[in-house]
Amino acid sequence: MASALDISKVKKDFYAEVRQMANDQFASPQYQRLLAIPLTQKRAQVYVLQKGFWNLNRRDTWAFAQALAPMDVKALIWEHELDELQGNEARGVEDHYSLQVRQAATIGLTRADFENEVAREETLMAIYSWVHLAKDSPWLKSLASCAALEVSNSSDWVDGGGMSYRWGKKQEADLGIPFNKQINAKEHAEVDVEHGNLLTKVVERHCDTSAKLDQAMEGLKESWMLDRAWKGILASYLEELPGPSK
């Protein structure tokens, strides 16, 4: 077993690699392509309606990770999921899916639009892949696969802000919707800083060998691979639609 000094150095290298990979997501062709597409209201609607299935999938995958995890980590996940599932009374926000639905009114959508939307084939492929990763992996890999998407949405880890912040600013620039009126984007830009710290808490408690860190890294890498593919899928959906009129 590595000494305390050795594992401290290995953890430092682990965190540096995680930070680099989280930032590299935004330099990937899929992210670059998606963020470069000029938005119309229809494009924004397709994005948020299909992404709604991904948001619900996040609750499923975290539940699988929680089922596999030791008791102290189950409690960390429980605390994390409270914001997502019931909101936060102190901040005056509802559960995050309802928050997303409410924000979608700024682009002309209603709850009925979400209820009537059908997941596309590529969307199902993506979310089923994340379910498999979370459900059928060792608990550390499962946990890391879920935490990856919190890390890459956190301004503590990602220079220039995560996807919630960047997409909110994109809607502000392309559609004229002020960022502070985008309640879901604003909420996630704030809370995902804390949510992104869950990985660190688990690593500090449970990763006392290089092998355990390697297992967590495997979950991060595979989840970010899926995430890049998912961003490419979303870009394809938007590119099917006419762009802004000249």
Is residue 28 classed exposed, middle or buried when 0-12, 13-18 and 19+ CB atoms within 10 A define those classes?
A: middle
Determine the pLDDT at residue 22: 97
Residue written as token pair 């979370």: 134
Q: Which of 56-65, 84-93, 172-181, 182-191 is predicted least confidently? A: 182-191
pLDDT at 207 over 70: yes
What is the number of helices (H) and of strands (E) in the chain? Answer: 12, 0
Q: Cα–Cα distance between 185 and 181 in angstroms, integer?
A: 9
CA distance 50 to 31: 17
- Evaluate if residue 2 carries a pLDDT over 70: no
First to last CA, the chain: 64
Which of residues 191 and 59 earns the better pLDDT score?
59
Is residue 63 scored above 80 in pLDDT?
A: yes
Q: pLDDT tens across 211-241, in order? A: 999 999 999 999 999 999 999 999 999 999 9
- At residue 174 the predicted structure's pLDDT band, cuts being 50, 70 and 90, is very high
Output the pTM of the full model.
0.93
pLDDT of residue 1: 46
